[in-house]
Amino acid sequence: MFSSLTFIEFLTILGTAAFSISAVLAVNKQQIDIFSIIVLGIISAVGGGTIRDCLLDTPIFWAEDISYIYIAIVAAIIGFYSRSLLTRKWITKAYLYIDAFAVAMFCIQGTEKAWSFGFGLPIAPIILGTMTAVGGGIIRDLLLQRPSLILSRELYAIPIALGGTVHAMTLAYAPEYKGVSAVVASALIIYLRHLVIKNNLVVPNWAVINPK
């Protein structure tokens, strides 16, 4: 990954680091040591892609390029020691946008990888793309015994799945535009996440069990 650092590679590093730092942000009142933070950081960063690669029966991406693990470890350690900084309001906000970039990128990459394997076309690549983006965070939350996004009304996975759907439709009907589509679908995810973050959007009551 480091041999020739392109823009995509820079984004991948940023995204991996953002996912790993989420482990620090996910800790609420629990006592967690730095070793657990590193473990949770690695899981947050590569968990979703790991399940994807298991399902695709292809070599696990971080075994092919171990730098993902190094990035996750370094980011988790930096996150651990800069925890007081991370709770500052503008950094929290900046983090949400870096996270939006990261989920967009990982979803589109995951969708495209699954599509290239012809895995359960046309809908399974969307599932695997979304899982790439959110799977690690869900395992992290299980291990932290906190409610995962499955139990949250925040619009988090839905924008991701929509972006994955746009990209899958391009791959199905206009594969020659897949480069453009990767950018457009990512931008869509980021824009939708921006709307959600800015306006605190949640799933409306009519689409929720026990809305209260």
Assess 171 for contact with its own copies (CB under 8 A).
Answer: no
Query: CB–CB of 108/179 below 8 Å?
Result: no
**For residue 23, what are the contacts with CB-CB under 8 A and spacing of at least 6?**
37, 40, 41, 43, 44, 76, 79, 140
Assess 85 for contact with its own copies (CB under 8 A).
Answer: no
Assess 50 for contact with its own copies (CB under 8 A).
Answer: yes
- Residue among 13, 45, 40, 12 nearest 24 (CA): 40
Give the pair of three-digit tokens for residue 25: 């942000």
Assess 203 for contact with its own copies (CB under 8 A).
Answer: yes
* In the complex, minimum distance from the CB of residue 161 to its own copies, in angstroms, rounded to a whole number: 8
Q: Coil, strand, or helix at residue 27?
A: coil
d(CA 151, CA 137): 13
Among 17, 39, 102, 188, binds its own copies (CB under 8 A): 39
Q: Which helix (H) or strand (E) holds 73?
A: helix 67-81
d(CA 112, CA 199): 31
Assess 33 for contact with its own copies (CB under 8 A).
Answer: yes
* In the complex, minimum distance from the CB of residue 33 to its own copies, in angstroms, rounded to a whole number: 4
Output 8 or 208, the one with its CB closest to its own copies. 208
Assess 91 for contact with its own copies (CB under 8 A).
Answer: no
Written as one letter, the residue type at 44 is S
Assess 119 for contact with its own copies (CB under 8 A).
Answer: yes
Assess 66 for contact with its own copies (CB under 8 A).
Answer: yes
Assess 89 for contact with its own copies (CB under 8 A).
Answer: no
Residues near its own copies (CB under 8 A), total: 55
Output 157 or 171, the one with its CB closest to its own copies. 157
- Residue among 22, 4, 190 nearest 106 (CA): 190
Assess 64 for contact with its own copies (CB under 8 A).
Answer: yes
- Residue among 185, 197, 194, 186 nearest 154 (CA): 197
Assess 1 for contact with its own copies (CB under 8 A).
Answer: no
Summarize as ranges the residues that interact with its own copies (CB under 8 A).
Answer: 24, 27, 29-37, 39-40, 42, 50, 54-55, 57, 59-60, 62-64, 66, 69-70, 80, 83, 119-124, 127, 138, 142-145, 147-148, 150-151, 153, 157-158, 161, 203, 207-212
